[in-house]
């Protein structure tokens, strides 16, 4: 499989390094506006490639992306250069949108001309609205972003550190925007199958104190990294290489990636299996994750600055209400996800906290969610 990487800066180089070490492709093509830099990065990686799975790393131009199965787009300004490093700024990464959207409108058509069948992976911040810009510019739906995959991993790591366990034993998801309006699914978080609420109760801690600290650490992790190293790069590089591996994986791995979610008509991160792309049927795990009210809040955050498609999206939400009602009926009004959780005071606290978070979270029928959003 051939993978292209647009941008050989810090993030692009980290994506390339992770893909080489992981063996995510048989050929990697690095494209950068400064060909000399792309050549230098490719050469450096080739020197270490004999110790990795067989892979070819070369520099090139857009025409060298022909027959690529996946193209990662990492080009654009980062948080530090774009002034998105203020923890009190409610816009966060969205401050980078206008500048990076213009860059994408120039880059994406060139990618599509060279590799019309490639899947496009948006890595640049803010990835969710930029994925929609890329989809519009590409003229097809084979577009996704890294979504909240990295945020979910950060959530798992901080939970593991708090409870002194291996992060591999933690199951936890962050959904919605890869930014300040992201939603933490505390009520479904588990360690070795045990609900987080129960563990907090057993340790004699309060849910509010644990949530407040961990949410802050995860939500502003990028700023913490930038303050010490100027750029957040290695985590997203590893995530991007893992996503590249999904293309050839025989397993249906699940991750919170942002792809076009047809019932909502908007790119936003929900837990998905091999993405909600035309390549495979959309599979959400579990389906109820797509329905919380904070997803409407996260979507509203993404919609506001991204005109002209913001207004049509809200109109589509209103028009989709009958569709959601029928879907709910056909599912025989299945139980809410929350009803299956263990009954304990901490579980109730988890649910109560999610209802307050970013405009309240409740798993309702689609028709109720759309009515509230409209």
**Residues designated as active site:** 178
Cα–Cα distance for residue pair 237/219, rounded to 1 Å: 18
Q: What SS3 string covers 211-244?
A: HHHHHHHHHCHHHHHHHHHCCCCHHHHHHHHHHH
* Burial bucket for residue 279 (CB in 10 Å: 0-12, 13-18, 19+): exposed
Phi and psi at residue 292, to the nearest 5°: -70, 150
What is the SS3 assignment for 122? strand
Which pair of tokens denotes residue 125? 């911040």
Burial of 132 (0-12, 13-18, 19+ CB in 10 A): buried
> In the numeric block, which tokens belong to residue 115?
């590799």
Asked if residue 268 has a cis previous peptide bond (ω within 30° of 0), the answer is: no
**Taking a C-beta distance cutoff of 8 angstroms, is the pair 70, 121 a contact?**
yes
* Nearest by Cα to 261 from 183, 366, 335: 366
Helix 321-330 / helix 366-373 crossing angle, nearest 10 deg: 160
Q: What is the sign, positive or negative, of the torsion defined by CA atoms of 166, 180, 178, 371? A: positive
- Looking at the DSSP bridge assignments, the partners of residue 144 are 121, 259
Q: Strands 2-6 and 70-73: what pairing?
A: parallel
Can you tell me whether residue 74 is helix, strand or coil? Answer: coil
The answer to whether the Cα torsion of 43, 55, 146, 172 is positive or negative is negative
């Amino acid at each position: 499989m051939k993978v292209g990487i647009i941008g050989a800066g810090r993030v692009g180089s980290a994506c390339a390094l992770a893909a080489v070490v992981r063996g995510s492709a048989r050929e990697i093509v690095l494209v950068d506006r400064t060909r000399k830099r792309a050549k230098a990065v490719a050469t450096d990686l080739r020197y270490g490639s004999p110790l990795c799975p067989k892979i070819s790393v070369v520099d090139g131009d857009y025409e060298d992306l022909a027959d690529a199965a996946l193209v990662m787009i990492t080009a654009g300004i980062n948080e530090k250069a774009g002034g998105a490093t203020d923890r009190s700024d409610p816009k966060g990464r969205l401050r980078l949108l206008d500048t990076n959207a213009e860059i994408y409108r120039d880059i994406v058509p060139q990618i599509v001309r060279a590799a019309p069948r490639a899947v496009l992976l948006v890595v640049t911040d803010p990835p969710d609205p930029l994925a929609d810009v890329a989809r519009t510019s590409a003229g097809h739906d084979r577009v996704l972003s890294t979504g909240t995959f990295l945020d979910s991993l950060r959530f798992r790591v901080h939970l593991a550190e708090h409870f002194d366990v291996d992060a591999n034993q933690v199951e936890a998801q962050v959904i919605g925007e890869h930014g300040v309006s992201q939603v933490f699914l505390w009520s479904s978080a588990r360690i070795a199958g045990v609900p987080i609420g129960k563990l907090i109760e057993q340790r004699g801690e309060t849910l509010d104190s644990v949530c407040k600290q961990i949410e802050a650490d995860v939500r502003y992790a990028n700023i913490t990294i930038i303050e010490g190293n100027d750029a957040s790069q290695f985590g997203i590089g590893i995530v991007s290489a893992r996503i590249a591996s999904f293309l050839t994986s025989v397993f249906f791995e699940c991750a919170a990636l942002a792809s076009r979610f047809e019932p909502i008509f908007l790119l936003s991160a929900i837990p998905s299996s091999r993405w909600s792309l035309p390549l495979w049927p959309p599979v959400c795990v579990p389906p109820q994750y797509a329905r919380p009210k904070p997803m409407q809040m996260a979507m509203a955050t993404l919609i506001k600055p991204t005109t002209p498609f913001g207004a049509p999206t809200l109109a589509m939400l209103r028009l989709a209400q009958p569709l959601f009602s029928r879907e709910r009926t056909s599912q025989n009004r299945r139980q809410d996800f929350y009803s299956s959780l263990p009954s304990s005071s901490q579980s109730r606290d988890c649910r109560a906290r999610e209802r307050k978070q970013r405009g309240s979270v409740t798993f309702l029928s689609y028709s109720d969610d759309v009515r509230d959003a409209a």
